[in-house]
Amino acid sequence: MSGHHTAIQQQTGTPVKIFRCVLVMVLLVHFVLTPVFQVGAEEKQEQKIRVALFVDIGKGFQLTVPTVTLSGEYGMDIGVRTDSGISVYEQVKGEAGRRFSPDGYYILAAETTNSTEAQQIAQRISGTGIKAEIQYILKSGKPVFQVVAGRSPVRSEAEKKQNEIAQKTGVFGLLQGPFRVETGRFSSVQEAAEQVALLTEKNIDAYLVMVAGSGNTLEYRVWAGNETSASESQALAQQIQQSTGLAANPSPEASNYLLVKQDAVLSGNQQEALTHYVFSPGQKVVVSPREGNGSRPPLIQVEEKGNRAYRGMMELSVYQQAFTLVNELPMHEYLYGVVGSEMASGWPIEALKAQAVLARTFALGRGNQYGVANLSDTVWDQAYYGYSKESPDIRQAVDETRGEVLLYQGRLAEAFYYSNAGGMTADGSEVWGNRVPYMVPVSSPDTIPMDAADLWYQVALMDGEIGYVHAEFITKTSEKNPIGLAYGIVNTDNLNFRTGPDRRESPSVRSLSRGMQVVILDEVKESNPYHWIRGPYTGREMMEIINENQKLYNAPLLSAPVRHLSVTRYGPSERVMEVKADGIRVESRTPDSYRSVFRVNDKSLRSTRFTIEETGSFTVLGANGRTVSYPKNGGQATLYAISGGDNQYVSSQLNGDSGSFVLYNAKGDLRVATLYPAFKFVGYGYGHGLGMSQYGAKAMALEGYGYREILQHYYQGVTIQTYP
């Protein structure tokens, strides 16, 4: 955890009185001095941008979480957005964190007085991919740990998680809901806390609730239960009246409220308490960082975003029936984070300026595309990783291009950009299927990552297996094999032997020992944004990948492993426009979608500027000029090498048990082939290729070009102006 939590006593052997004091004191410390006031209407300043950090943006892309944990370096103000401004619920001082979730449904997976048991159950559930948390509450004067999971504003979604948890873990949890009973309204938190204690003594779950009322007032209420229906809350109200004599309203009304729960953050014997606010789904909760006297600006840290810190305020709400977190901040502060995320500090200032203009243009052009936000923080729109990506040169690039955007015929241009064009940018028809007049194929100096990439060797082992190893771990020898290829010796322990020259995307198939001898077939650069290799993949793997894609379009399926896979049409910049497998067209929503069609191990191809090498396709020349072409109908080839001497000829299976072998001709050309149909993708570039190449911009800036020249190279006929 991030360390922004209030310490609580260890459960084992702790007197009940201490736990009760802890719970009451947490409430008192948090709220007794909290006034409600109006921040007032926001001043007319630079345009604000709203960035969704968690949201269901549709299009099959959902990025949501059940809870969000926020903290501020100097504290934070927590309030609700109203028509007249922001009413503040609480002013948090120091680094204490708060957890938030919308009121709704969840699964009570377990309830126990043993913290270790609670941890074990929570870990089992979290291991299934469903986040589990531990709450604590007093019941009959004793501390109880509740394991909860599957939070959702929608009952049906929580019920799905309930079934999933039961199937995967054997834990049959109880569905809990947002129907509660009100037992009192108070002007002070101390009075409310005393009634909470009274109810929990009777073994009834009860909570302090803060309600933002009319006239800028804050009222404290006590609500009991987590019922799933009105009839259940009616029954609970009768139980409360009979056991306590308190008046119990089974239908409390409040449009803006925070219900206060306590999460237990457990790690072995270490236990901490974290205040958890459950907020009414109809309101917009806002969290603003408080000013400090340090060198950094006010920031809000989001634990569920890898503890990234952000400028501006956070807004929590329910949108599209999903928990949503939006970061709202001035445009230039947003761009500090974007330019630093999309490029990097230390890049030439003119490249950074070009990126700043494009990022601003892109953001302004999105409108309110997600209803609750202008854009997301992912590469689905443009990367935005907050304050940690800022630096003086990044801020300089943004400030020195303040307000500037890209215009075409007086309107905001489509400011598309990407990592690397692979030497040539794309035509619109190659990406979305239609032309864009100001984005046409132009040359792009993209080789910087290729020049800096590590050297790898393609090698053959003594048992005939062929793969790739990092050149640093092979010592070349002066000795050559019969066709003049150099031998090498492994100079390290447990060297990864991979299917391709890539540590991230090519799996290791075995380890090589120090001193092993290899034959060096080829020298290649490690796959990089400019040039890359993916595969080879077998015909069966390709059949499964393509059929999964074809099902999305109700298109013809392949009935056997792929024998031939080829690009049948290229576009103006040599990007793939059509692919066929054994004569059947591989369907794609747009030409650029071929990147995700050939997705393997959750990794798409880096670009569509690729060729497909059929390693299992070759022709054998035999006696009397006869030729045999492979692959044949059977798919797998069986080949033999004939060697002889002293009038005796020996026939042996080609390359032993290895499925790959080397073809070598009189010109010295060498090619690795396979006895079975297999396919290697060899490509250039990283991204869709439309608009500015970031590595191309870097190279142009290093050559002395200014940011305007860079932009007008990649976007033909545009102007760069300050946007009104």
Q: Who has greater pLDDT, 724 or 192?
A: 192
Contact between 70 and 113 (Cβ < 8 Å): no
Alpha carbon distance 323, 315 (integer Å): 11
Backbone angles phi, psi at 83, to 5 degrees: -65, -30
- For residue 681 the two structure tokens come to 């993708």
Tell how strand 85-93 and strand 132-139 pair up.
unpaired
Give pTM, 2 decimals: 0.86
- For residue 300 the two structure tokens come to 């809000």
Alpha carbon distance 225, 278 (integer Å): 13
Instruction: Report the pLDDT value the prediction gives residue 312, as an integer from 0 to 100.
Output: 96
Instruction: Report the pLDDT value the prediction gives residue 667, as an integer from 0 to 100.
Output: 72
Instruction: Report the pLDDT value the prediction gives residue 16, as an integer from 0 to 100.
Output: 34
Could you report the per-residue pLDDT of 431-446, keeping only the tens digit for each? 988 899 999 999 999 9
Q: What is the mean pLDDT of the chain?
A: 87
Q: How confident is the model at residue 13 (pLDDT cuts 50, 70, 90)?
A: very low
Mean pLDDT, to the nearest integer, of 161-187? 95
pLDDT exceeds 90 at position 569: yes
Alpha carbon distance 515, 492 (integer Å): 8
pLDDT exceeds 70 at position 558: yes
- For residue 639 the two structure tokens come to 């080949």
Q: How confident is the model at residue 47 (pLDDT cuts 50, 70, 90)?
A: confident
Alpha carbon distance 398, 707 (integer Å): 12
Alpha carbon distance 622, 449 (integer Å): 45
Q: How confident is the model at residue 64 (pLDDT cuts 50, 70, 90)?
A: confident
Alpha carbon distance 42, 643 (integer Å): 87
Kindly report which listed range (41-55, 88-102, 279-293, 470-484) carries the lowest average pLDDT score.
41-55
Instruction: Report the pLDDT value the prediction gives residue 40, as an integer from 0 to 100.
Output: 38
Instruction: Report the pLDDT value the prediction gives residue 248, as an integer from 0 to 100.
Output: 93
Instruction: Report the pLDDT value the prediction gives residue 635, as an integer from 0 to 100.
Output: 59
Domain ranges of the chain: 6-33+104-280, 48-86+286-416+700-724
Instruction: Report the pLDDT value the prediction gives residue 44, as an integer from 0 to 100.
Output: 43
Instruction: Report the pLDDT value the prediction gives residue 621, as an integer from 0 to 100.
Output: 59
Instruction: Report the pLDDT value the prediction gives residue 38, as an integer from 0 to 100.
Output: 36
Q: How confident is the model at residue 42 (pLDDT cuts 50, 70, 90)?
A: very low
Q: How confident is the model at residue 27 (pLDDT cuts 50, 70, 90)?
A: very low
Instruction: Report the pLDDT value the prediction gives residue 505, as an integer from 0 to 100.
Output: 87
Instruction: Report the pLDDT value the prediction gives residue 484, as an integer from 0 to 100.
Output: 87
pLDDT exceeds 50 at position 649: no
Mean pLDDT, to the nearest integer, of 91-115? 93
Spatial neighbors of 412 by CB under 8 A, at least 6 apart, are: 361, 364, 365, 405, 406, 723
Instruction: Report the pLDDT value the prediction gives residue 486, as an integer from 0 to 100.
Output: 94
Could you report the per-residue pLDDT of 199-225, keeping only the tens digit for each? 999 999 999 999 987 656 788 999 999
Alpha carbon distance 372, 325 (integer Å): 9
Spatial neighbors of 253 by CB under 8 A, at least 6 apart, are: none
Spatial neighbors of 429 by CB under 8 A, at least 6 apart, are: 435, 571, 572, 577, 591
Among residues of the chain, what percentage have pLDDT more than 70? 86
Instruction: Report the pLDDT value the prediction gives residue 656, as an integer from 0 to 100.
Output: 52
Could you report the per-residue pLDDT of 398-423, keeping only the tens digit for each? 999 999 999 999 999 999 999 999 99
Kindly report which listed range (101-110, 355-364, 576-585, 624-633) carries the lowest average pLDDT score.
624-633
Instruction: Report the pLDDT value the prediction gives residue 471, as an integer from 0 to 100.
Output: 97
Contact between 512 and 469 (Cβ < 8 Å): yes
Instruction: Report the pLDDT value the prediction gives residue 29, as an integer from 0 to 100.
Output: 38
pLDDT exceeds 50 at position 315: yes
Please tell me the number of Cα atoms within 13 Å of 676 on its side-chain side. 13
Kindly report which listed range (272-276, 290-294, 598-602) carries the lowest average pLDDT score.
290-294
